[in-house]
Structure 1
Amino acid sequence: MDNPDFIIIGAGSSGCVMAERLSASGRHKVLVLEAGGDDRRFFVQMPLGYGKTFFDPKVNWMYRAEPDEGLAGNVDHWPRGRVLGGSSSINAMVWVRGHRADFDDWRDAGNPGWGADEMCSAFRDVECAIVGDDSLRGRKGPLNLFVPGKTTHHLTRKWFESAQALGLPLNPDFNGESQEGVGLFEFTIHGGRRLSAARAFLRPAMKRPNLRVITGAQVTGLTFDGGRVTGVTYTRKGRKQTVSAGREVILSGGSVNSPQLLQLAGIGPARHLKDLGINVRIDNPNVGRNLEDHIGINYTYRANCPTINQQLGPWWGKLSAGLHYLLLRDGPLSVSLNQAGGFIRTSPDRVRPNMQLYFQAFSTVIPRPGERPILSPDPWPGFSIGWSNCRPKSRGEIMIRSADPSQAPRITPNALSHEEDVAEMLATGKIVRAMAAARPLADCIEAELLPGPDIASDEALIDDIRHRSGTVYHPVATCRMGPDPTTSVVDARLRVHGLEGLRVVDCSIFPNIVTGNTNAAAIATGWRASEIVLQDNA
Structure 2
Amino acid sequence: MSTTLPGPLGFLLGPVGVFGYLAVFLWPFLKVELDDPVGLPQFDILTPLDSHYDYIVVGGGSSGAVIASRLSENPHVSVLLIEAGGDGSIISDVPAMVATLYGTSMDWNFKSASDGKSCLGMIGGRCSWHRGKAIGGSSNINGMLYNRGNKADFDRWAELGNHGWSYEDVLPFFRKSEDQGNHYYAQDSRYHSVGGPQPVSDPNFETPLAWAFKKAARHLGYTNGDVNGESQFHFTVPQTTTRDGRRFSTAKSFLRHAKSRPNLRILLNAKVTKLVLSKYGVQGVIYKRFGNIASVKCRREVILSAGAIGSPQILMLSGIGPKRLLKKLHIPLYKDLPVGMSMQSHIGTSIVFSLKEPVSFNVARFITNPAHLVAYLKNGRGFLSSPSGFEGFGFIKSGLQNKAWPDLEILMLSGHPSIEGGLLYRGSLNLRDEQFDQYKSIQFEDGFTLIPYNLHPHSRGRIILHSRDSDAKPIIQPNYFHDPRDVQSLIHGIRVSMKLGQAPAFKHFGSELFPVPNPFCKYLPFLSDAYWECVVRHFTYSIHHDTGTCRMGPYDDPYSVVDHQLRVHGVQGLRVADASIMPEITSGHTNAPCIMIGEKAAHMILYE
Q: TM-score range by the shorter chain?
A: over 0.9
Any idea what SS the aligned residue of 2:494 has? helix
Q: Does 1:521 align with 2:593?
A: yes
Rounded to whole Å, the distance in 1 between the matches of 2:503 and 2:365 is 31
Q: Does 1:345 align with 2:397?
A: yes
> How far apart are 1:215 and its partner, in Å?
0.4
Q: Does 1:510 align with 2:590?
A: no
> How far apart are 1:338 and its partner, in Å?
0.9
Rounded to whole Å, the distance in 2 between the matches of 1:464 and 1:445 is 24
Any idea what SS the aligned residue of 1:474 has? strand
Q: Which amino acid in the other structure matches residue 589 of structure 2?
A: N
> How far apart are 1:327 and its partner, in Å?
2.8
Any idea what SS the aligned residue of 2:350 has? strand
1:458-473 alignment, distance < 5 Å:
458-473=529-544
> How far apart are 1:386 and its partner, in Å?
1.4
Q: Does 1:139 align with 2:194?
A: yes
Residue 450 to residue 345, structure 1, CA distance change in 2 (3 Å):
farther
> How far apart are 1:101 and its partner, in Å?
0.6
Encode CA deviations 1:171-217: one digit per residue, 9 max, x unaligned: 2x110000002111110001221110000001211110100000011
Q: Which amino acid in the other structure matches residue 213 of structure 1?
A: I
2:208 corresponds to which of 151, 154, 178: 154
Aligned to 1:170: 224
Q: Is the 8 A contact 1:128 1:142 kept in 2?
A: yes
Rounded to whole Å, the distance in 2 between the matches of 1:473 and 1:317 is 31
Rounded to whole Å, the distance in 2 between the matches of 1:389 and 1:316 is 34
Q: Does 1:122 align with 2:170?
A: no
Residue 23 to residue 359, structure 1, CA distance change in 2 (3 Å):
same
- With 437-446 and 96-105 compared, the bigger mean Cα shift is at 437-446
> How far apart are 1:315 and its partner, in Å?
7.6
Rounded to whole Å, the distance in 1 between the matches of 2:174 and 2:297 is 32
Q: Which amino acid in the other structure matches residue 60 of structure 1?
A: D
Q: Which amino acid in the other structure matches residue 243 of structure 2?
A: H
Residue 49 to residue 241, structure 1, CA distance change in 2 (3 Å):
same
Encode CA deviations 1:392-446: one digit per residue, 9 max, x unaligned: 1110000111000000000000001111111110011011111123212223235
Q: Unaligned stretches of 5+ in structure 1? A: none
1:44 corresponds to which of 83, 92, 102: 92
Q: Is the 8 A contact 1:256 1:398 kept in 2?
A: yes
4+ runs deviating over 6 angstroms:
none
Q: Is the 8 A contact 1:189 1:335 kept in 2?
A: no
1:381 corresponds to which of 422, 446, 455: 446
Any idea what SS the aligned residue of 1:13 has? coil
Aligned to 2:237: 184
1:393 corresponds to which of 451, 458, 480: 458
Q: Does 1:18 align with 2:59?
A: no
Q: Which amino acid in the other structure matches residue 235 of structure 1?
A: K
Rounded to whole Å, the distance in 2 between the matches of 1:125 and 1:27 is 22
Rounded to whole Å, the distance in 2 between the matches of 1:350 and 1:395 is 19
Encode CA deviations 1:220-268: one digit per residue, 9 max, x unaligned: 1111221410100001111111100011111110000000000000010
Q: Which amino acid in the other structure matches residue 333 of structure 2?
A: V
Aligned to 1:416: 481
Residue 418 to residue 445, structure 1, CA distance change in 2 (3 Å):
farther
Q: Unaligned stretches of 5+ in structure 2? A: 1-48, 431-439, 519-524
Rounded to whole Å, the distance in 2 between the matches of 1:257 and 1:72 is 22
Rounded to whole Å, the distance in 2 between the matches of 1:138 and 1:119 is 14
Aligned to 2:323: 270
Rounded to whole Å, the distance in 1 between the matches of 2:595 and 2:526 is 41
Aligned to 2:306: 253
2:507 corresponds to which of 431, 437, 442: 442
Residue 315 to residue 143, structure 1, CA distance change in 2 (3 Å):
closer
Q: Does 1:302 align with 2:359?
A: no
Rounded to whole Å, the distance in 2 between the matches of 1:32 and 1:379 is 44
Identity of aligned residues (%): 34
1:243 corresponds to which of 296, 303, 306: 296
Q: Does 1:66 align with 2:113?
A: yes
Q: Is the 8 A contact 2:502 2:512 kept in 1?
A: no
Q: Is the 8 A contact 2:552 2:561 kept in 1?
A: yes
Q: Which amino acid in the other structure matches residue 198 of structure 2?
A: L
> How far apart are 1:372 and its partner, in Å?
6.3
Aligned residues: 528
Encode CA deviations 1:444-467: one digit per residue, 9 max, x unaligned: 235322665972211011111111
Q: Which amino acid in the other structure matches residue 99 of structure 2?
A: G
Encode CA deviations 1:465-498: one digit per residue, 9 max, x unaligned: 1111231000000000011253300011111101
- With 140-149 and 203-212 compared, the bigger mean Cα shift is at 140-149
Rounded to whole Å, the distance in 2 between the matches of 1:528 and 1:413 is 28
Q: Which amino acid in the other structure matches residue 488 of structure 1?
A: S
Q: Is the 8 A contact 2:244 2:379 kept in 1?
A: no
Residue 434 to residue 196, structure 1, CA distance change in 2 (3 Å):
same
Aligned to 2:134: 83
- With 93-102 and 43-52 compared, the bigger mean Cα shift is at 43-52
2:549 corresponds to which of 473, 478, 499: 478
1:287 corresponds to which of 322, 339, 351: 339
Aligned to 2:161: 110
Q: Does 1:219 align with 2:266?
A: no
Q: Which amino acid in the other structure matches residue 91 of structure 2?
A: F
Q: Is the 8 A contact 2:213 2:392 kept in 1?
A: no
2:562 corresponds to which of 481, 486, 490: 490
Q: Which amino acid in the other structure matches residue 155 of structure 2?
A: D
Q: Does 1:4 align with 2:75?
A: no
- With 140-149 and 215-224 compared, the bigger mean Cα shift is at 140-149
Rounded to whole Å, the distance in 2 between the matches of 1:318 and 1:86 is 32
Rounded to whole Å, the distance in 1 between the matches of 2:577 and 2:311 is 9
Q: Is the 8 A contact 2:106 2:134 kept in 1?
A: yes
Q: Which amino acid in the other structure matches residue 79 of structure 2?
A: V
Any idea what SS the aligned residue of 2:326 has? helix
Rounded to whole Å, the distance in 2 between the matches of 1:175 and 1:145 is 11
Any idea what SS the aligned residue of 1:313 has? helix
Any idea what SS the aligned residue of 2:154 has? helix
Rounded to whole Å, the distance in 1 between the matches of 2:370 and 2:530 is 45
Q: Is the 8 A contact 1:227 1:498 kept in 2?
A: no
- With 18-27 and 158-167 compared, the bigger mean Cα shift is at 158-167
Q: Is the 8 A contact 1:299 1:450 kept in 2?
A: no
> How far apart are 1:314 and its partner, in Å?
4.0
Any idea what SS the aligned residue of 1:520 has? helix
Encode CA deviations 1:28-70: one digit per residue, 9 max, x unaligned: 100011010012x1211111121111221x1110001101333
Rounded to whole Å, the distance in 2 between the matches of 1:409 and 1:94 is 28
- With 266-275 and 324-333 compared, the bigger mean Cα shift is at 324-333
Residue 298 to residue 450, structure 1, CA distance change in 2 (3 Å):
farther
Q: Which amino acid in the other structure matches residue 202 of structure 2?
A: V
Q: Is the 8 A contact 1:300 1:450 kept in 2?
A: no
Aligned to 2:427: 370
Q: Is the 8 A contact 2:119 2:127 kept in 1?
A: no
Encode CA deviations 1:302-358: one digit per residue, 9 max, x unaligned: 111112344x21485264433332233211111212121111112396533111111
Residue 31 to residue 180, structure 1, CA distance change in 2 (3 Å):
same
Encode CA deviations 1:64-100: one digit per residue, 9 max, x unaligned: 1101333154201101111000001110000100001
